[in-house]
Structure 1
């Protein structure tokens, strides 16, 4: 049967590419100039598993369920298969490794390098068994005979040398290699091979032919060539059975010969005439040959044995299976014919039927039941540092955020240094450090630079405020740091013992917290730490992550746990906060999500793929600003991380919530209203009202009056309502104008019932908030040394216990993570889409000192005012029932509020404390609610 070639597949970037098979022949493994190792199920696998091992990988070999890869740090690195975990370094060189080879009958590795050395190494590493160092040029290839008696090397000095492994001397030298001074300039690789069964032949390429040498006398036995071969042969390779020999030329031709007869079975021309850089036979012996070229393409030849690719091995297996089937049939017949009726006799058929639960129906036989294989899950995501590039790079970013950039540079001699560049030179001048401890993690804030390493695990911090003192702390026993984060108020690190260790910026150990799973990443803002970890094992395609928000205030600690959503089949790529403290997460599919602490929901705010031009482009997140509604990121073309040289350009992506039909005017206005309601944006009141009115106008012009009325009921803005009614009347929508005119009276009439019912509902829900701690002034000023129980007893003896008044919230249960308002200037949002109100949006003037005990203070809610003045109000109205007293007090409270307003307009209950600001108010963290504000 004629040799057939399958279409080429893109495997790696252009450059030298290597390929090998697993020992069972089920997987193809390739590595290339892009530094990736890919595992293919077949040549038609559209989604191979890819693992990055460095900037480039020149050679790969599979042996005993382990992968051996030549990495860019001039080492032979072992990996487990299929988990692909690092499993030690087999050997090191001072120049790039050019080939790694092994055979089924030998338990060693043959390695060659550009430093003019070749080694025979043990699979477990350690000192090499044999070092061949007499070369005067880069070593291109190596071969070892099955009996470990001889080894052969080809060098760039023009010679092919045959070594006696026992005496470690050269027994024969042949001039057949074109002279070169570097591996990367070699056109002919001169890859030779010993006959795999007994090692009685050595095949090596020479010009346009392959020469076979006898392994006993080293005399020439035969040659293989063909008249269609018009250029030099670069490599040759025996089939697993030793009966066929394949060779490839520098122009991409691949020829297969039968060794015994010397006939050429066929020659395949490369579609693009690129040089073949590596070949590998399928160990199953089915006549399949895979190859790759210098353009990074992967190809396959089938029927290389001159017959169907279902080789002799598979035929033998089928014959064995048929023989076993015949034996089973004979055995069944014997059991059926000679089965005894005696009660003491053992019936195999009966035992099988009872075990499998099958009743006997004539001559039917039970079918064997094979349990289904367990479904494989994706491996758990390893811990990482946000805004950092891979550790194996010689020049990498350790951290890039809105404060500055931390770079790490590793030289060829192994020496490493760290450079710190600040965006604002007023914060601190640049820093240059010698990386003696080999720090691999870094985090930078305006107050401290934190550095950490895994082994020996040590945290080193440099204070950027004051005298720039340095402090360090070592982890206990075998505990290793996996993640580190530094903020303006603390430093935190997560370890492999699932502990979160918190420190002050000056080095005081603050707290140790146990995490509920293996850590993935850390982030922080002011005195709040965000820890992401695996809360359960990963599923078939998804990572199951959770996030702990831990806030500190003095000696108090408070935490909240939320689940972290990801796109199906994705991993977490970045974790951080906005400029006002909202937690954000970014996955490798390009979706950025923001956690709104006020409502407790995750919202997608940006899809970076819509800003990419190519399918392989990705974005490297730097920082997020809610005030400007921008995401600062770096575009990485064809990679997932930016290069250090040249310095990349930071672009700004707009925050946009992915509502439906964003290409329409209605969808754009709706997106603006939703985004302004859940983020702290620099939007003035006039722009917000104009957008809402435009959306109202669209509903009116579309003759959907019910939607227009629904929008006004949703916004509940007293100032916007007259404008909407006036616009409806001008359009002739008198029925809608009448409804809008009556809407304000309806809000006023229903306000009392709404507040009373809602207050009782919120009070019931707030009793379930076990993580909220009510603090008194004595608690906040208490010493850390005094036990907590002692302080409580002293307080109880001094003052009686009083119930703390509970504030109402228009959105449901009170959220302890709600953003606190500035006490001097309170601004309400007209766009907070809750089931309560979006009323008056204007800043209140500073109130004068209030001497009247019934006069409400600024920012005081009805519940606080009612609790404070309840005894006085009961004395003034002794004849009223509790419900009548509540209604009377609501009217009194609103009347007192109206007197305090300068413009005479009515304001809705609780607006001064519950609405979200959208105007240019003072910037404040959304996580500031973790701070324990004193309740009066």
Structure 2
């Protein structure tokens, strides 16, 4: 793809042999060069004559940065000089260092100058008032290069220790926000090889040379590696620069190559041969670039890009080359068009917004997503659309555009750099690494390495979703346009007992997987065509249906039960209500049909899963874990909170800022990954799991006993940090225990009422009811101890009335507790309650005996 320029530019001897640097003014009218001699040259763009010389300058100038009115130059004697471009004269020194200056950079607003030297600090000096100065000290090695981002909000330092230090410049005092390690190599400040950070013009990423002689792109959103400009140079890279619109990248190396790359596909579009190039700058508006060499020469190259690719310079600003865009420019849509979630523009409270009689009847907005009416934008309906409406023009209603809940795969994370977790649960981890455009590598790592060995394989299908359980792993990939290929669902058992147990199924053309789930018996797949597809573990389709409420959002499954969620009618806040359905696939029974997920306004579901006991659970964006009670009986289900993570004791001091990524509910605890700071998703290295006891939100006082328990001893010490807090009252603890046991009792009772049940489950229910009554006895003792009989007598009696004891022993024990604390009236009421229950039991037994006698007769 090589292309040569029409005429090779002539070298212009500008300085003596040594480091030679150049810079265009932002308006492109002038090019300034500095070098080893005591002369600075200013070239006028478009003028082929001799440049203007500035002789009143320092020798051994090593760097230059220019504005339209002035430029600054740093030299090896430790001075940074300010020169006027209006008069072409030296005006002042703005900074001095004790060691040689290696780089200078003006901020985009030209008010500040950053100075790097062989010292261990970097100075940021106000150009006009040099008494205003900040010193950057967080890095501990000399800085070789400096680079402001296009907005001037960040300053990147390439240091000799092989680390890029990024400082935020928006605060009153600049602060270090990120260390980017593992990209650049270690090098000395006087080496010709470059490790300069070149910010992309859109400001969302930067490019930097690597020790492998490639150019690595790094995202500023998550500081992860993106695309690489590879296999271009055979020697160390000495210079690089983006074109003004970011469509092209120019690089030079010690291999005497000067290359021009296409940003979009990282291919070389032009190759030139120039020796010893150490600096490159693009003209801001023209097809023109200039570069300097260590021989003191300057090349000004008009028509730098050939006619074949010159049109790329006329494009608007191009995006940085991301593998997976962390800023949402390429949202996580699994290969499908993202459903619109536009905010409300009109209030439902305004009749004028809904009924506008002055509008043209023919004004119409096509509902291109099939999900509801769109807001009017003044466009008329195309004439060819009349066929859809029977040839009659439709009167346009100015309705609110609904906001949909976006689809998601439980237990997965978005792409971050070139990595993504496909599945996180208590069985193990599944993650993928994007190696290039042709294949990924997938790793399955199990917690129980004795039961299953870890799996690592090359993925040419580019799977982007996965499920994992003890029997197998399920994967899916999106459809592709070029080359045309359908979405694929792939199941891989861990221990196949046949020669070919794994299988793949292709979905119809254009249909993409939104979410999927895997149980011990069934595979469930929800798709962009608004279908729910259910398969056996051997790929036999047993259900294909279209749910009543779409678009689909997610799904979960446990044994024969499948839970699906979809968007329902629009609520008062303009957000679609989230509806769920639970069905037993094997028995073809609907347990809950399009019931509403209990979410406050503006809240979304972060994850949905079944507990190890088979109870549906959700974790929402407020950090609340809820479970569904009585879900096996139609129209009886309701959501109850098990834990509000905002009330955890670890957050009581307000010093910690963390959130929690839900993993599972198992063994009576909430398992999650603790995310520090503002992180939304876990990342590498592999995160550790923590667990929290359930705690029904009753009071703002945190539960001091509820500390995270990590599987790693060192993290446990960190997470168990004490927080100063008031002691929680005993009655709150007992009430908490009572409510949690009541939830367990309700779940177990539902299970026994709707299944055969086992003897151990029935015995467990009996023990649980005894424990509930014992807890109520403890609550009664607190009521009797804490207050007078007049104050707490009725409350204490209510506690006794909650007892479920059928034998009367617990009520009798309650009476003894009342006597112990001298509560005579309460004791009498409890005895009356006990006698009434005995009489009720006797009456019920007699009625049952009479019914048996009638049956016998």
Classify the secondary structure of the residue corresponding to 1:699.
helix
Query: 1:48 — aligned with what?
Result: none
Q: What is the distance in 2 between the residues matched to 1:593 and 1:496?
A: 28
Q: What is the distance in 2 between the residues matched to 1:595 and 1:149?
A: 65
Change beyond 3 A, Cα 1:612–1:409: farther
Asked if the contact 2:153–2:170 (Cα under 8 Å) also holds between the matched residues in 1, the reply is no
Asked if the contact 2:146–2:156 (Cα under 8 Å) also holds between the matched residues in 1, the reply is yes
Q: What is the distance in 2 between the residues matched to 1:384 and 1:138?
A: 50
Query: 2:823 — aligned with what?
Result: 733
Query: 1:561 — aligned with what?
Result: 594
Query: 1:601 — aligned with what?
Result: 638
Q: What is the distance in 1 between the residues matched to 2:147 and 2:402?
A: 27
Query: 1:710 — aligned with what?
Result: 798
Asked if the contact 1:490–1:504 (Cα under 8 Å) also holds between the matched residues in 2, the reply is yes
Aligned pairs for 1:857-872 (under 5 A) are none
Aligned pairs for 1:400-799 (under 5 A) are 400-411=424-435, 415-425=439-449, 427-455=451-479, 456-464=486-494, 466-467=496-497, 469-515=501-547, 516-536=549-569, 544-554=577-587, 559-566=592-599, 569-598=602-631, 600-609=637-646, 610=648, 615-625=656-666, 628-638=667-677, 639-645=679-685, 647-660=686-699, 662=701, 663-679=728-744, 684=768, 687-701=771-785, 702-703=787-788, 704-717=792-805, 718-747=808-837
Aligned pairs for 1:288-327 (under 5 A) are none
Aligned pairs for 1:214-229 (under 5 A) are none
> Cα offset for 1:78?
13
Change beyond 3 A, Cα 1:120–1:752: farther
> Cα offset for 1:540?
6.2
> Cα offset for 1:537?
6.0
Aligned pairs for 1:245-284 (under 5 A) are none
Query: 2:191 — aligned with what?
Result: none
Change beyond 3 A, Cα 1:152–1:493: farther
Classify the secondary structure of the residue corresponding to 2:802.
helix
> Cα offset for 1:892?
3.1
> Cα offset for 1:580?
0.8
Classify the secondary structure of the residue corresponding to 1:384.
coil
> Cα offset for 1:623?
1.8
Query: 2:328 — aligned with what?
Result: none
Question: Bigger relative contact order, structure 1 or 2, given CA contacts below 8 A and separation 6+?
Answer: 1
Asked if the contact 2:426–2:663 (Cα under 8 Å) also holds between the matched residues in 1, the reply is yes
Asked if the contact 1:31–1:60 (Cα under 8 Å) also holds between the matched residues in 2, the reply is no
Asked if the contact 1:487–1:524 (Cα under 8 Å) also holds between the matched residues in 2, the reply is yes
Between stretches 549-558 and 487-496, larger displacement belongs to: 549-558
Matched, 1:144 2:283: yes
Between stretches 733-742 and 374-383, larger displacement belongs to: 374-383
Change beyond 3 A, Cα 1:485–1:533: same
Q: What is the distance in 1 between the residues matched to 2:279 and 2:650?
A: 41
Change beyond 3 A, Cα 1:888–1:617: closer
Change beyond 3 A, Cα 1:71–1:505: farther
Q: What is the distance in 1 between the residues matched to 2:630 and 2:772?
A: 22
CA offsets 1:318-361 (integer angstroms, 9 cap, x no match): xxxxxxxxxxxxxxxxxxxxxxxxxxxxxxxxxxxx999xxxxx
Classify the secondary structure of the residue corresponding to 1:386.
coil
* CA RMSD between the two structures: 5.4
> Cα offset for 1:582?
1.4
> Cα offset for 1:74?
7.5
Asked if the contact 2:629–2:640 (Cα under 8 Å) also holds between the matched residues in 1, the reply is yes
Change beyond 3 A, Cα 1:588–1:153: farther
Q: What is the distance in 1 between the residues matched to 2:802 and 2:244?
A: 73
> Cα offset for 1:493?
1.3
Classify the secondary structure of the residue corresponding to 1:506.
coil
Classify the secondary structure of the residue corresponding to 2:585.
strand
CA offsets 1:193-247 (integer angstroms, 9 cap, x no match): x9x9xxxxxxxxxxxxxxxxxxxxxxxxxxxxxxxxxxxxxxxxxxxxxxxxxxx
> Cα offset for 1:478?
0.8
Change beyond 3 A, Cα 1:378–1:552: closer
Q: What is the distance in 1 between the residues matched to 2:476 and 2:148?
A: 36
Change beyond 3 A, Cα 1:699–1:559: closer
> Cα offset for 1:688?
3.3
> Cα offset for 1:165?
2.0
Classify the secondary structure of the residue corresponding to 1:535.
strand
Change beyond 3 A, Cα 1:721–1:355: closer
> Cα offset for 1:529?
1.9
Query: 1:892 — aligned with what?
Result: 850
Classify the secondary structure of the residue corresponding to 2:423.
strand
Classify the secondary structure of the residue corresponding to 2:737.
helix
Change beyond 3 A, Cα 1:433–1:121: closer
> Cα offset for 1:526?
1.0
Query: 2:390 — aligned with what?
Result: none
Provide the TM-score with structure 1 as the length reference: 0.47
Asked if the contact 1:16–1:58 (Cα under 8 Å) also holds between the matched residues in 2, the reply is no
Change beyond 3 A, Cα 1:167–1:477: closer
Q: What is the distance in 1 between the residues matched to 2:277 and 2:665?
A: 50
Asked if the contact 2:488–2:506 (Cα under 8 Å) also holds between the matched residues in 1, the reply is yes
Q: What is the distance in 2 between the residues matched to 1:689 and 1:713?
A: 10
Q: What is the distance in 2 between the residues matched to 1:137 and 1:570?
A: 59
Q: What is the distance in 2 between the residues matched to 1:158 and 1:381?
A: 61
> Cα offset for 1:888?
7.7
Q: What is the distance in 1 between the residues matched to 2:414 and 2:640?
A: 29
Query: 1:819 — aligned with what?
Result: none
Matched, 1:163 2:301: yes
Classify the secondary structure of the residue corresponding to 2:492.
strand
Q: How many residues align?
A: 521
Aligned pairs for 1:808-847 (under 5 A) are none
CA offsets 1:176-208 (integer angstroms, 9 cap, x no match): xxxxxxxxxxxxxxxxxx9x9xxxxxxxxxxxx
Q: What is the distance in 1 between the residues matched to 2:729 and 2:854?
A: 46
Classify the secondary structure of the residue corresponding to 2:775.
helix
Aligned pairs for 1:111-130 (under 5 A) are 111-112=249-250, 119=260
> Cα offset for 1:376?
10
Classify the secondary structure of the residue corresponding to 1:488.
coil
For the pair shown, the structure with the greater C-alpha radius of gyration is 1
Q: What is the distance in 2 between the residues matched to 1:430 and 1:20?
A: 45
> Cα offset for 1:587?
3.0
Asked if the contact 1:110–1:143 (Cα under 8 Å) also holds between the matched residues in 2, the reply is no
Q: What is the distance in 2 between the residues matched to 1:538 and 1:432?
A: 46
CA offsets 1:150-178 (integer angstroms, 9 cap, x no match): 23468999987533226759xxxxxxxxx
> Cα offset for 1:394?
3.2
Change beyond 3 A, Cα 1:643–1:120: closer
Change beyond 3 A, Cα 1:748–1:60: farther
